[in-house]
Chains A and B, each alone.
Chain A
């Protein structure tokens, strides 16, 4: 892993140097990173005079492991990166992140509390943007309109769905919300087992338990699955390129996940990072994220000047199901082990 850390650092030879007034920011590669650097970063650069150097960041745990090793070696491949709540927690336990001073972030109050992540030492992750996991359906294969997650369990849809098959995916929160007392059901092991038993009823209806997003994408494209739980934004891209798909935000709510801005401790550009994060929490930046990056904004709705149409294009008036990160922080292995046992038996 030491070598892996060096490899990551080698990709960005300037590391945390790169001039006094620049900031290296990494975000999920692809559409997202392109849209951010084309539409959002230039506005920040103009407002602050700080230049942003945008880097594409891979999703997945390997990135975090490499970053931890690089950071331990005193190298910061970037000054800010985007991280899921689960990875913020993992990084925190490995002393990866720098803590933020809330006084330097006047816009922090724009974010609902659940999007500001903090550990015993203080705030280390600030919500950047969200994404939804929605119910996607191939309208050519399923003609009946669907508006509820319970459709996943209907016997009529045998061998129809593709669901995430590894770890503790969104199906836990969906099941907990649809059939039990909401995501809080996952706070106890007994609750988790109840939820897993309910997910077990989905086995006859699930054709594909996917591990990588790409597998599900192929299956949707060639009609191998009739639908399932999938990223709303990726589904929208697929739909735009001709795959027959309806993206449904069920009445129980779609699952909302979010990424946070985090600073590796080895990066010393604290003031610049604060300026960046503060800007990203502003209504101006969040409006841009909704309009140009096509991602759901995280700050409170009333602060945004989005029309209903603009808002509904990237989000929904139906309150989302929030992912229970606390359960993942305390019971991840229990959830994953019992889930794998259930689907593979």
Chain B
């Protein structure tokens, strides 16, 4: 992903640092990475091979029972849905965030700061709060439905959830500020002279934006999309509260298995599968982006 996230203009190469100083600086983050990321991941993988005791919990073991259970159409369907949901959220949110970030970056300094502070402040709201607020907003007795009925758009008051659209709208709302903030630096660094040159050559502003500006920021856009996929593929609360069981994600299956039936080995195997699929997807994107741009 790093090659995708390279800023458009890079500073001159940093001077060589003393390897001892470098090792010293890196040792703490490395230690954190091992203790807080790799060890839990190892325990998770270990748990996924454990023996499940039906009605009880589990005992140590080395078996593939849980992974075999993943090969059922039921799990594959849910996994496919999780990825479809994440990819759809990515496409919609990047499509919305791209022009917003572009126009913010073209505003006066003061306006830019106001927008950025506003976006940052929405990040302070917890996901739980947002999802439950959406539940109230979309409910039959909520303000939105009442307004729609008053305007004659909706005949009779009925709630706008649970369904796929409600899940989608809430997920896009959740990721949008991140993506705008993520795209903003790349947009700020865009050289205005290039689209201006295109316009001089006869392209309409819209055409210049789509055919000149967009290809220049292809990398950041793709990175932003991937970020959304990573954020939302494991989504749990939004589909749980605003969706029907048909919109349940792998995250919900994991939670059901782990916290309700106590089948932690299966939940661990599902989590390992989700992480593996995600890593696979990242690898594929990396391969494709390399093939697509030999210069990088």
Contacts and interface: CB of A to CB of B under 8 A. Distances in A.
A191 interface: no
Contacts of A168: 261
A222 B139 contact: yes
A46 interface: no
Interface stretch (B48-56, B87-95, B201-209, B226-234): B48-56
Interface in A151-204: 165-168
A344 interface: yes
Given A211-B260, A222-B141, A340-B253, A89 B159 contact: no
Given A166-B256, A166-B260, A167-B256, A333 B54 contact: yes
A329 B55 contact: yes
Contact of A336 (B132, B162, B241, B260): B260
B53 A344 contact: no
B261 A343 contact: no
A333 B248 contact: no
Interface string B218-261: 00000000000000000000001100111010001101111111
B248 A218 contact: no
Contact of B256 (A62, A86, A328, A340): A340
B162 A207 contact: yes
Interface string B103-146: 00000000000000000000000000000100110011100000
A332 interface: yes
B275 interface: no
Which of B52, B55, B74, B132 has the most chain A CB atoms inside 10 A of its CB?
A: B55
A23 interface: no
A93 B261 contact: no
Interface residues of B, number: 34
A344 B78 contact: yes
Given A93-B56, A344-B248, A333 B139 contact: no
B263 interface: yes
B159 A224 contact: yes
B261 A223 contact: no
Nearest to A208: B162
Contacts of A332: 54-55, 261-262
B57 interface: yes
A175 to B, nearest CB: 17
Contact of B57 (A94, A223, A330): A94
Contacts of A330: 54-55
Nearest to B142: A222
Interface string B31-62: 00000000000000000000011111100000
A62 B259 contact: yes
A60 interface: yes
A330 B240 CA distance: 28
A6 B248 CA distance: 33
B129 to A, nearest CB: 13
B53 A93 contact: yes
A139 B263 CA distance: 39
A330 B56 CA distance: 9
A65 B240 CA distance: 24
B1 to A, nearest CB: 30
A92 B135 CA distance: 40
A321 B244 CA distance: 28
B36 to A, nearest CB: 11
Which of A89, A166, A168, A222 has the most chain B CB atoms inside 10 A of its CB?
A: A166
A68 B56 CA distance: 12
A32 interface: no
Interface string A316-342: 000000000000111111101100110
Contacts of B54: 329-334
Contacts of A340: 74, 245, 248, 253, 256
Contacts of A90: 55-57, 262
B256 A222 contact: no
A337 B246 CA distance: 15
A345 B248 CA distance: 10
A56 to B, nearest CB: 19
A333 B56 contact: no
Nearest to A335: B261
Nearest to A93: B56
Interface string A71-99: 00000000000000010011011100000
23 contacts: A61-B259, A62-B259, A68-B57, A89-B55, A93-B53, A94-B57, A166-B256, A166-B260, A209-B245, A215-B240, A222-B136, A222-B139, A222-B141, A223-B140, A223-B141, A224-B139, A329-B54, A332-B261, A333-B263, A334-B54, A336-B257, A340-B74, A344-B246
Interface of A: 60-62, 65, 68, 86, 89-90, 92-94, 165-168, 207-209, 211, 215, 218, 222-224, 328-334, 336-337, 340-341, 343-345
Given A93-B57, A94-B56, A340-B253, 18 more contacts: A60-B259, A61-B258, A61-B259, A92-B56, A93-B53, A94-B57, A165-B245, A211-B260, A222-B136, A223-B140, A332-B261, A332-B262, A333-B54, A333-B261, A333-B266, A334-B54, A336-B260, A336-B261
